[in-house]
Amino acid sequence: MALVRNDSFRDIDRFLKQFWVTPEINRFHAVPMDVYRNDDSFLVVVDLPGVKPTSIDLTVEDNVLSIRAQRSVPTSVEGVARTVAERPFGTFQRQIHLGTNVDADNIRASYEDGVLTVVIPIAAHAKPRRIEVSVAPDAHVIDA
């Protein structure tokens, strides 16, 4: 497998959020994503609504793709009080552990309508290839 999902603390974080309501600023939030595979690449689709494209930071280090983005604190309007605050703001972060079968040097990303799309090409050495079989003129065939 070329991609390994490792988000071991996500369930613990969800559990703890049920009991403690804390300000969401300065916390890291995992973002939902889908991963697809075709013959030549993996396609990672990440929801980042309300995030400015300039705040998105993608890095690859030691076969780990890190996605980090920032959504600003909503500005308050004078005379208007917020009564429900369910939308998180602050830093959003996700890490994807890449296998050795991807071409990390040619990863591409685009962002449109709050959705980040990352294309991770599969390395040439990991793609299936056909091996030609030749018949030697002096081949000895053993009949079974």
Does residue 22 lie within any of the structural domains? yes
Is the pTM of the predicted complex or chain greater than 0.75? Answer: no
Residue 8 lies in a domain: yes
For residue 141, tell me if it sits in a domain. Answer: no
* pLDDT for position 15: 57
Q: For residue 45, what is the domain's CATH number?
A: 2.60.40.790
pLDDT digits (tens, 9 = 90+) for 1-60: 455 555 556 666 655 555 554 444 445 667 889 999 988 999 999 999 989 999 999 999
Query: 56 CB contacts (<8 Å, ≥6 apart)?
Result: 48, 67, 68, 69, 109, 111, 116
CA 78/CA 99 separation, integer angstroms: 51
Average pLDDT, the chain: 81
- Residue 133 counted as domain residue: no
What is the count of structural domains for the chain? 1
CA distances from 23 to 51, 67, 76 (A): 19, 23, 15
**What is the domain range of residue 87?**
3-74+81-126
